[in-house]
Structure 1
């Protein structure tokens, strides 16, 4: 059965998901939101999907092991047979500096090595087109195979006999071998030399990158893996940050909460940028600023959508795909996302907050200036105008519109940060203006979203419902940690939404019924809130429990079954990986106290 015990490789242009048996079950080319040429992850059961994968089988399979090369995005899978023989598969997507530019070709490299004995293996490569509708046609040469579709052509170059791959016949692996799959470009040197150089330089790149991270003393391995995963979710060409690498992994069994997350949500991207900034890696923020500058420049009347394609396309028309059976046969499979049509007023504050550090960080090659500030002001005007207007909220309700407290607070945050930026730029008149807007919005939020009888903020103006986003009131600097209203809000939200060591985002019925599974980022929000109010022991206990919910490679999806601990939802989820980083930074003992 398919599950989310998967490893991720990539190079900030495309990615691939690989299961514990060494099968590539998901890979979109030429980019994250492209046609999945390997799509067996969402084509029914693992045994039933006869197309859309790239795997290596060992005769008389016994068991497998899987790990990352330390501090890299290079994945190693070892398959053992019942007689003691073993084959090691090293998977990676090349990423390194060449000619003073980042080299990130559309190539998946698989290195094979007999680890013990002489394993007998079989290689099966079955890429598809048009979301699994048909296999690509094969055309082969002496050392390569072309996989040709209606408008695409990919090439596999290898030092394995091509006939072994064409016929999928078992053979003895007596020495190292390599498989290079990707764009239809010839390899003009030996396969061994080309792959060895790519491996060494990619290894060097990732280890050099992780050395630059400012990590907390505790949970270092967990933070490093989360940071690398977030980096892999960045589309470097434009600066976009995707929410997840997959589509249509359902939020829970038996539901139709199957969404396509291979796009850039401005809100999610803010949280990713904030997490990476905490670790001292600011280049991703600079790239994202270029992305949002282009978004803002193309926005009519400075009105923003909550989500865009990674190449700035605004229309993400949602449709259902009938050629794929779905993850564990959970239909439908959806491509596109209707959320692009939603009104979600928090996005203006999200963009402003993502850009704020650019005005205060002296390390940046291109710090924030008056020109960027003026662009952000246009978004601030929307904050001041829309903070008390109904929207679909960050939870993207399709049939519920209210004045959601989180959206209002994010609009306040946008104005508040513009006031701080104004003071930084010594623009006194603008600082006074934006501080006035922030104070006005804050007063109305307190008046209309705070319930004094229950001593808690509520999910919407004048409402009674609670949602987990209220746990962010301290992190967003709307309330001090020792404010009695924040203490009351944390208590109320925890009592209503906590299920064991997990948090629901809300419990009221929505367009698809009552949510069944916990939303991982909400659990991390609880951890942060508990730490802020002095309940660090409780926070640490929940954090340790959440770390146990990761798969064996340290990755998390969007949702967790609070009863079984099983992962559901799109994978890997940037929100969830952000939560690992944020919680570790908040909870870790300082380096100064570590020795």
Structure 2
């Protein structure tokens, strides 16, 4: 068996996605959306390559390489054999404007081109159903195969030999072959010309989207690839943004820290839209704000959950997928996430902060109005009421609750930004109310979170341990970079949590013991803090080193084993891609230097 790896490349269209391995095999992909049944699940199938996959195997294959077409989500994989023959595989999910709306079907396109010699190849297409319970049954016609993956079926339309595909038999590839795996309906038009037209229009969509980004002078390719990766994590129908495309990639070997990240965390999404907003990708922000308005309506002034499904469903019951062995056999594979019923008070600030922009940004198609302010004030009321109450915190502890400093600061930020919005709307009386509440929370944080003996803020009001989220106090404008309290807190956090060029989220034991891997976004927070502390060259060196840990596709997962430099955790992780974008913008030389 081949050992699974996170050397993966995402493709997608903001409806469905797939992760493609280094040899061009689909190893993970869910339908009809990101949190659906993984018809491609070999990534979590304990090393079983031939089930839950879609791959092209070249006879006598010796090498494989892959790259994205410039500024797009179209992946090209080149397979070469010992006799010098070769094929190139173009993989993408259709995405372009059609009939006045975005065409983004539950579909994958693959084009195989013979580019050298006389390649012989076999097609392995074995989607599974019910989280790896069984390989899908098939029926077929002259030019298509139906895969019964559950209540719905997928149809492969192709000009390749259907009989060879069904029997997984090798054959000579003498001309380009086209594959469209999508809804169970007849493919309209000529498969060759239509698939090529779809590829061209999809490429044009992505290139025009990238063209609208405001990117830094340095690290342009890294920034563009991270931005595309974040875009692929949005479910366009509702505007939700998932934390990652996968479930149950362990945070560390045999740790059982295996979680389903295919949901919309209010916290992660806040950081995602913040990063993309810095690049000018307002389309992601606008769609996410629509999602948030629905969440606020659903809450009706009550508690906001830390996460929801991409459709806004609040109940995400956690269970184990018994038929999947897990990444490298390291189960369990979890579906759903019990964190949905946790109390995490930072989410109130993470709703207010991105929504506040809609009251000021005149580029938006729909600016926020007084009705939105009234609804947002209800969120602020919850922030003020809960700022000094225990919660599970941003690290989602499952067995203990404290008043976490990060949550309190986020509640302060909610009140502070509501005061700004009230001023924008000429509501001076409401501005005074929210300013007073922000001041009240600030005073509480200063008195309860500050550790006089250690000369630093603590991670919670009750404990003196440290966590990396304290570095966000500047980003949230609670402290200025030059504040002595921030300087001394940064020194303490660096001393306690830094491991070489990497940062732990915390060092104290949690529900599963002591953390074993660095949390990648915390390393990016370290880089930002170093720059703010005037240690910019050191920050640049660590940033360049972090870029070196990316996959060949330019992606990062959640965690890194800093002893052997191996990626762990769900993939691609939005937090980590956000870190790339933020640090590139912070550290880059200005464009004025080349003008």
Quickly name the TM-score band, shorter chain normalised: over 0.9
User: Which secondary structure does the structure 2 equivalent of 1:473 belong to?
Assistant: helix
Contact persistence 2:94–2:103 (CA under 8 A)? yes
Matched, 1:8 2:6: no
Runs of 4+ with >2 A deviation: none
Residue matched to 1:240: 240
Conservation of the 8 A alpha-carbon contact between 1:400 and 1:510: no
Q: Offset at 1:302?
A: 2.2
For the residue of structure 2 that corresponds to 1:44, the secondary structure is coil
> Which residue is equivalent to 2:31?
29
What secondary structure is seen at the aligned counterpart in 2 of 1:541? helix
Counterparts of residues 488-507 of structure 1 (less than 5 Å) = 488-507=488-507
Shift of 1:327: 0.2
Look up the SS of the partner of 2:475 in the other structure: coil
Q: Which moved more, 1:518-527 or 1:148-157?
A: 148-157
Aligned residues of 1:406 and 1:469 also touching (Cα < 8 A): yes
Deviations 1:307-361 (A, max 9, x none): 0000011000000111000000001000000000100000000000121211111
Alpha-carbon separation, structure 1, partners of 2:267 and 2:391: 14
Tell me: CA distance 1:25–1:82, structure 2 relative to 1, closer, same or farther (3 Å): same
CA distance in 1, matches of 2:190, 2:585: 46
Structure 2 residue 520 is matched with structure 1 residue 517 = no
TM-score (norm 1): 0.99
Cα deviation code 1:57-104 (max 9, x no counterpart):
001110111000010000000000011111000000000001111110
1:441 corresponds in structure 2 to 441
**What is the alpha-carbon distance in structure 1 between the residues aligned to residue 288 and residue 150 of structure 2?**
34
1:50 CA displacement: 3.5
User: In 2, distance between residues paired with 1:166 and 1:150?
Assistant: 19
**Displacement after TM superposition at 1:135 (Å):** 1.1
Q: How many residues align?
A: 593
Q: Structure 2-normalised TM-score?
A: 0.99
The answer to whether structure 1 residue 19 and structure 2 residue 21 are counterparts is yes
Secondary structure at 1:567 match in 2: strand
Closer, same or farther in 2 for the Cα pair 1:149/1:9, shift >3 Å? closer
Partner Cα separation in structure 2 for residue 458 and residue 535 of structure 1: 24
Give the corresponding residue for 1:454.
454
1:224-235 residue pairs with structure 2 within 5 A? 224-235=224-235
Q: Do structure 1's residue 575 and structure 2's residue 575 form an aligned pair?
A: yes
Matched, 1:348 2:348: yes
Distance 2:469 2:150 in 1: 46
Secondary structure of 2:393 counterpart:
coil
Q: What do residues 180-233 of structure 1 show as CA deviations (whole Å, max 9, x unaligned)? A: 112112112111011011001000000000000000111000000000010000
Secondary structure of the residue aligned to 1:474 is helix
Aligned to 1:365: 365
Map of 1:117 onto structure 2: 117
Q: Deviations over 1:427-453 (max 9, x none)?
A: 100111000000110011011101122
After superposition, give the CA deviation of every residue in 1:540-574 in whole Å (9 maximum; x if it has no partner): 11111100110111100000001111000000000
**Are residues 1:397 and 2:400 paired?**
no
Aligned partners of 1:406 and 1:470 also within 8 Å: yes
**Alignment pair present for 1:291 and 2:291:** yes
Once the two structures are TM-superposed, the CA of residue 462 in structure 1 deviates from its matched residue by 3.6
CA distance in 1, matches of 2:594, 2:449: 42
Q: Kindly report which structure 2 residues correspond to 1:497-576, keeping only aligned pairs within 5 A, or say none.
A: 497-576=497-576
For the residues of structure 1 that align with 2:259 and 2:311, how far apart are their CA atoms? 19
Shift in Å at residue 424 of structure 1?
Answer: 1.1
Equivalences for residues 30-179 of structure 1 within 5 A: 30-45=32-47, 48-179=48-179
Q: Hey, what does 1:428 align to over in structure 2?
A: 428
- Asked if the contact 2:301/2:379 (under 8 Å) is kept, the reply is no
Alpha-carbon offset, residue 49 of structure 1: 4.3
TM superposition shift of 1:300: 4.7
Report the Cα distance in structure 2 between the residues aligned to 1:177 and 1:150, rounded to whole angstroms. Answer: 28
Q: Which residue of 2 aligns with 1:184?
A: 184
**TM-aligned CA deviation for residue 301 of structure 1:** 3.9
Q: What is aligned with 1:213? A: 213
- Post-superposition CA distance 1:14-69 (Å, at most 9, x none): 10000011110001000000000010000102xx3431000100011101110000
Rounded Cα–Cα distance in structure 2 between residues aligned with 1:519 and 1:486: 21
The answer on 1:275 being equivalent to 2:252 is: no
C-alpha separation in 2, matches of 1:4 and 1:393: 28
Quick one: distance in 2 between partners of 1:550 and 1:204?
A: 26
Compute the displacement of 1:530 (Å): 1.4
Instruction: Please give the alpha-carbon distance, in whole angstroms, between the structure 1 residues aligned to 2:527 and 2:364.
Output: 31
Q: Which residue is equivalent to 1:378?
A: 378
Distance 2:425 2:527 in 1: 35
Q: Tell whether the 8 Å contact from 1:91 to 1:108 is kept in structure 2 after alignment.
A: yes
How far did 1:244 drift? 0.2
Structure 1 residues without counterparts, runs of 5 or longer = none
